[in-house]
Amino acid sequence: MSNQSLAEQVKSDIQSLQSSSRDLQTSVRLTDIRDGLEDLGTSVNGMDRRIESLRERGYAFEKELEETAADFEKEWAGIVPNLEAQIEKEASVMERSLRPLEAQIAGLAGESGAPAALQPRLSKLKAQVESLEGRVEAAERSIRGGYDQFSSDVQKVKNHLTKLEWMLTELSEASFELLATESGIMAVKAVWAKGGKQTKNDPEGVLYLTDQRILFEQKEKVTTKKVLFVATEKKLVQDLLWEAPLALIEETKARKDGFLNKDDYIEVRFGSGVPFDLLHIHIWQSGDEWKALLKRAKGKEFDGTRAIAIDEATAKKVKDAPTKCPSCGGAINQVVLRGMESITCEFCGDVIRL
């Protein structure tokens, strides 16, 4: 290697060491760990307010959420002092190790000796910097190991709360209203794949699951005007396309489809009383999770987790609903849902007040 090439290489290596030294100024302070702990603490301490807001907006289920939030807060108060003490101890030791390295790197950068004479010192400093970087990584792993599982548990609940908040926002904007005492369980962005696989003409919208029904509302912007094949005007189309009582669901299946089988679908088969036998819905959540949700909802498992009680008078109307039409004596085959004010006889058309 020529003297000029060697000089350029040494100069580049010194600049790289200076850059690594600047990065270490932050990393030896364990700044990422500190920021992560602060964010985690904010999530833990704010969880009870998020749940309170969900209740105020009408989310009626999972009465254990409040207890979970309280347990998180108590556990966090127990582990964070030790974590903070460990961070301060590790950071202090590594900061003291960095100071002499910074001085040596600065001195090396200020020298104008022969490049070949600088190389041994350069190699030694590079090894010391890499060693300190390894110590930082080891300290981060050790500290994270003290709260990784706790952080994972908190994140799962946070993600769940985010889904519930999104559902309640969508319900507040929906083109339909829930029945009295009917409560949302989950909602998801979805496409009703009428032919089994999604096409560009299939309606996009939101799939809702309540404690009484499954519903699909189209909610998408459709092109109303094009210029040279480019959409120039759009309008929001929002309409409830179908709904069905959970009691009429006979079978649900989850499947994968699309490119590399990355798309989640849920298939719902109904018994008589619904104008379609089978629905295929592409959803932006896990199909297996929705299959489990539908099974639990149909089995009324969510009723046992209520944090908001059902009005007894409304529930009694369902229990006391007639099984025969008082006008013609025809059998009432319609599923009576809690919150309905009336049903219509399919034989004589008489409206029966509940």
pLDDT of amino acid 112: 61
Contacts 24+ apart (CB under 8 A), 304-307: 305/61, 305/62, 305/63, 305/64, 306/60, 306/61, 306/63, 307/55, 307/59, 307/60, 307/61, 307/62, 307/63, 307/65, 307/66
Q: What is the mean pLDDT of the chain?
A: 91
Residues 86-113, mean pLDDT to the nearest whole number: 87
Report the pLDDT averaged over residues 168-194: 96
Q: How far apart are CA 156 and CA 35, in angstroms?
A: 20
Q: Domains of the chain (ranges plus CATH)?
A: 3-157 (no CATH), 174-305 (2.30.29.30), 311-354 (no CATH)
What confidence tens digit (pLDDT) does each residue in 25-59 have? 999 999 999 999 999 999 999 999 999 999 999 99
- Give pLDDT tens digits for 118-152: 788 888 989 999 999 999 999 999 999 999 999 99
Q: Which residues contact 190 (CB under 8 A, 6 or more apart)?
A: 204, 205, 206, 207, 216, 281, 282, 283, 284
Question: Is a pLDDT exceeding 60 seen at residue 292?
Answer: yes
Task: Report DSSP letters for 269-320, one per residue.
Answer: EE-TTSS-SEEEEEESS-HHHHHHHHHHHHTTGGGGG-SSPPPHHHHHHHHT
Residue 79 has pLDDT above 70, yes or no: yes
